A = this chain, B = another copy of it.
Amino acid sequence: MHRENSNPDAMLYPIGIVRSTIKSRKNAPKQGLEDAPDAWLDVSPAVIEALDGLSVGDDIIVLSWLHQANRDVLKVHPRSDPRRRLTGVFATRSPDRPNPIGLHRVTIRRISGNRLRVGPIEVVDGTPVVDIKPVLASVNDD
């Protein structure tokens, strides 16, 4: 990756952290609906106001920073299956990619102060959260 292109403004700041029973990447399901558990999102008290308007039952998209990813990987065997041909990471959901942002569509189960109980979500305990967005049914979840 050509990091001389970097823009000093394009730094992500965690707005929260995932607290999950998944303790290592090896044990994480590949996608949320494959038996992933619910987890807590501990949202930073500094941004708690930004949660106003979210309710239990809402579907949201959690954007995570997949901090254990390898950013130099451009091709992978999909789903780590060596029988599948090497494929560009932009055609896969591999966590290994130049900017390892994870997208997780989850349902809010409970809200307790600055903590959201959400699921199912497949990320490991300690993963930083960088954004939360509502699912927009009217425009096809874009």
The answer to whether A88 touches B50 (Cβ under 8 A) is yes
* Chain B proximity mask over A100-142: 1 for CB below 8 Å, otherwise 0: 0101111000000000000000000000101111101001111
How many copies of this protein are present in the complex? 2
Q: Pick the residue among B12, B32, B50 that contacts A142 (CB under 8 A).
A: B32
CB within 8 Å for A33 and B139 given contacts A13-B5, A50-B97, A99-B63: yes
Q: Pick the residue among B1, B33, B132 that contacts A90 (CB under 8 A).
A: B132
Instruction: Spell out A's residues near B (CB within 8 Å).
Output: 1-3, 5-7, 9-15, 31-34, 44, 46-47, 49-54, 58, 60-61, 63, 65, 67, 74-75, 86-93, 97-99, 101, 103-106, 128, 130-134, 136, 139-142
